[in-house]
Structure 1
Amino acid sequence: MVFRSTSSRVAAGVAALALASVASAAALARIFDAHPLRTHSGCALVYTPRSRMFQVDDEEAGDAVAGDGEVSASSRPKDPVRVLRSGGVFQSATYTGEHRFEPVFEYYRGFDTMFAAESPLASAFGHGMSDVLMLGGGGFAYPKHLLTTREGISLDVVEIDPAVVSGARRWFFVDELEERLGDAARARGNRMRVFVADARAFLDQQDRLFEVSLPDPAHRSVHAGHQAHTLNPFGSARDAREHLRGRLQYNAIVNDCFVGAEPVASLATLEAAQAIRRRLVPGGIYLTNVVSRDNCGDLTFLRDQVATLSRVFLHVHIVPCEDERFGGEDNFLVIATDSDVSVPAAVPYDEGFLGEVLRD
């Protein structure tokens, strides 16, 4: 009896495995070059879809490449696409051919809005857009685009998951980007540092660095009849903190952090907005990608985010980021700054649009 029962269970198990194999085979028929990736938020998959959505016809490709190597917003190059899928959504994507440093998803180009403010900021505050902080690395789609289309950019990227960073280097051409940046002739004055850290903790840790107290240079220690100066070349502890503040501030901060389909809650609060503003130079710009629910049917988080940022920044703009092929119309770029910069693509809203102010 035991043997027969065990045999029945084995047979059932084999049948289940067979069905699973058929299902897996059907799934794998829709993708190729698949690589599992274990991340902090669960198992992710890096693969190249066979879906028609990711194929581009010759007519659609058109004259994709503009004069300086940038891709026009109305067309895309004819390259295979590799994606990072986690939590049921595409976290990042890359072309795998000659256009591998160009973004697949249109909203990444929206982050370039920061450069429209470069000239006004230079006139008003004496700085441009040379120092940028990116919260959320993923497949490094925007860092690749930024550092191969601009010059003189110092970019810090904060990504919480070391497995994602390793995967980006292996499958999303970040290793090639780093090699390029290591060659002065090809780097064009650009550099990139990658920090494996929680984005909010990274911001808060920089706050704590400002509390460092250095000894006053008037203090001297005497050894063998000679005066030995303390190691503070700044003149005072206050000057030292101001020097450190300048080194830890950015002209622009870009937030593209998600856990699956959900935004990172710790970066959406009033306290986070205050920390972000402290990390910006006067007149600096904060840009965050906000995804609405139900194809723009639910704008609750967008309304809450605008309300929260409006408590901290003088100006908050909303820019729709349409991507008919890959993303639909559910991405919004929210831009917050104390500068009165022009954002022509922004949509108007009134106080009635504002939602709740989010807090830690």
Structure 2
Amino acid sequence: MGLEILAGRIVAPALGSSVYVWGSVIGVFLTALSVGYYLGGKRAATHASRESLSAILLAGVGFTALLIVAGEPLLGFFAGLPIPARYAAIPPIIVLFGPMTVLLGLLSPFAAELSQAQSSGESAGRVFALGTVGSIVGTFGATFVLIPFLSVLQAELVFGGILLAGAFRVAPAEPRAVAQVGLAACVLLAAALVGVYGVPTPANVVHEESTRYSELRVVDDDGVRTMFLDGVPQSAMYTDEREGYVFGYSAYAHIPLLMTEDVDRVLFVGGGGFSGPKRFLEEYPNVTVDVVELDPAVVDAAYTYFDVPRDHPRLSVHTMDGRRFLKETTHTYDLIVLDAFRKDRVPFHLTTREFMALTSSKMDDDGVLFANVIAARSGQGSAFYRAEVKTLGRVYPHVYAFPTSNTNALQNIELVATKGEPYTEAELQRANEERDIGLDLTRQIRRYQRGESIPTDDVPVLTDDHAPVDRLLDEGSGQRYVITGYNGTTDRARLGPRAVSAASVV
């Protein structure tokens, strides 16, 4: 079970971590274990011995070494195959984890055959009880110890070391068996050295780590520093003399300031590199900013590499789930910025009617909600965006959409929902001319759409009871994703469940 949880983390940078990926992991592991149990049951009576148990465990060590050395290249190979994204995770999981899991499935029937219990029933019960306890330890250990505190390589070495120790424990006390264990230890050590030194980190990678939620990488490229989570760009800033936003969609978060007169407190759900919070602190000296970010490592990276002030008197950072924070906070907000969605991973509990009602309850009467989603404007790839428009419309009286690109490719589409009076495009342009909010949003306002003009008859209202977010997102898998820079130019990258490891924005 611990290996199963680690498998989900290993494949996430290349294939995402949608429900389809996790379903593929669980399905492949259960299938492989069943095959191992069946084969082990047929062979246990004639092949079960201490030598065979040791050999199975040592073979597991060998597969662990192979996973360390060849796992990333194999994932890259499979990610490039023309397989429908819903099923794309199945082949690499079979190749990387199937044989090892079949082998581990042999252990239980072999161990039951060798058990000294007085009856076969008692023997099987004892072995499977111990196996279940091991699964419990592996699940909790991987979830709360290995993944939060170790890199993927280190976690793989821990699993390899456990298998090696098990082989040493059951191996007969004879020179040949000891030599086999020693050879396996050398193979595992060699794989570890290849994992550490064999694939050098590119010079432009400033920082990388396995957090408890994702693979985090900070990359410098041509005067731009970008934070990637599982290969998908999340935030960026200039490291040269240029100023302003790198990602054009960030500027749209200022449109709500044209819709409400007095903004004193702003909440960002999703921190990343804190591009928006930093700009709000710089531009609006009377605004207090709260940021909720689930991953503490992302917050640490923002402090260290993205010039986020640690002790700013108007900035409060909370490392917790955004919905939980909103339930517990006693503050009310003039603006809530929801920027926790990714193309391939959307926390469904932040999309539902119940969550939107919670945001409304934490806003002032003229408060505004801003949500950044990634979708096509219409047709294939637009279902989640249109479902979110429909859901917002069940809570907020006025909903607006601002696509960031003229194409119908996947793009950032900014949703704005208000509780106050409606605004026309002309009124927003007039407010843009009359108010000084630090940015000229003329071009952005031209993207204006009313929520009523967006067709939503074929998509559901998302609720806590029924939010098929993964299914709605799936139709956009593999489509081109257009990233728009602040000046309106674009850079195209193929992102999605098969995310790129780097991207540039112009």
TM-score between both structures, scaled by the size of structure 2: 0.47
Q: 2:321 aligns with which of 195, 198, 203?
A: 198
Offset at residue 163 of structure 1 (A):
1.9
Partners of 2:269 and 2:339 within 8 A in 1: yes
Name the residue aligned to 1:340: 422
Structure 1's 260 and 159: CA in aligned 2 closer, same or farther, altered over 3 A?
A: farther
Q: Deviations over 1:78-122 (max 9, x none)?
A: xx112221122112222223446x32111101101112223xxx3
After superposition, where does 1:201-216 map in structure 2 within 5 Å? 201-206=324-329
| CA distance, structure 2, for counterparts of residue 153 and residue 17 of structure 1 | 50
Instruction: Tell me the equivalent position of 2:249.
Output: 107
- 1:294-344 Cα offsets, whole Å, 9 max, x none, are 9983111101111110000111111112399xxx75110011112312344
1:152-186 superposed Cα distances (whole Å, 9 cap, x missing partner): 212111112222211111111003xx56x55xxxx
* Match among 229, 233, 247 for residue 86 of structure 1: 229
1:330 aligns with 2:411: yes
Task: Name the SS of the counterpart of 2:462 in structure 1.
Answer: coil
**Aligned-pair identity (%):** 28
Q: Does 1:306 align with 2:481?
A: no
CA apart distance, 1:44: 1.2
* Contact residue 319 and residue 334 of structure 1 kept, 8 A: yes
Deviation at 1:23, TM superposition (A): 6.9
User: Any conservation in 1 of the 2:253–2:337 contact (CA below 8 Å)?
Assistant: yes
Task: Tell me the secondary structure at the aligned position of residue 113 of structure 1.
Answer: helix
Q: CA deviation at 1:287?
A: 0.3
CA distance in 2, matches of 1:260, 1:17: 33
Whole-Å separation in 1 of the counterparts to 2:377 and 2:280: 30
Instruction: Determine which structure has the larger helix proportion and give its number.
Output: 2
Secondary structure class of the residue paired with 1:139: coil
Cα distance change, pair 153–140 in 1 and its aligned pair in 2 (3 A): same
In the alignment, is the contact (CA less than 8 A) between 2:374 and 2:410 conserved in 1? no
Matched, 1:353 2:353: no
8 Å CA contact 2:405–2:411 kept in 1: the answer is yes
Shift of 1:18: 7.9
Which structure is larger by alpha-carbon Rg, 1 or 2? Answer: 2
Deviation readout 1:179-208 (Å, 9 max, x if unpaired): 6x55xxxxxxxx2222222110011113xx
Q: Paired residues, what number?
A: 265
Q: 1:145 to 1:21 in 2, by over 3 A?
A: same
**Match for residue 287 of structure 2?**
153
The aligned residue for residue 71 of structure 1 is none
Question: Which residue number corresponds to residue 216 of structure 1?
Answer: none
Any residues of structure 2 matched to 1:183-332 within 5 Å, and which?
191-206=314-329, 248-258=331-341, 261-292=344-375, 297-322=380-405, 329-332=410-413
Partners in 1 of 2:403 and 2:376 — Cα distance? 14
CA RMSD of aligned residues (A): 3.2
The amino acid of 1:330's aligned partner reads: Q
Asked if 1:129 corresponds to 2:232, the answer is no
Q: Name the counterpart of 2:199.
A: 24
Structure with greater contact order relative to length (CA < 8 Å, sep ≥ 6)? 2
Partner of 1:238: none
Higher strand proportion, which one?
1
1:144 partner SS: helix
Flag the 1:161–1:15 CA change in 2: closer, same or farther, 3 A.
Answer: closer
Unaligned runs of 5+ in 2: 1-175, 426-444, 465-506
Partners of 1:294 and 1:11 lie apart in 2 by: 55
Question: CA–CA distance in 2 between the matches of 1:23 and 1:294?
Answer: 44
Letter paired with 1:88: G
Which residue matches 1:140? 274
CA contact (8 A) 1:87 1:261 kept: no
Find the counterpart in structure 1 of residue 499 from structure 2.
none
TM-score (norm 1): 0.64
CA drift at 1:276: 0.4
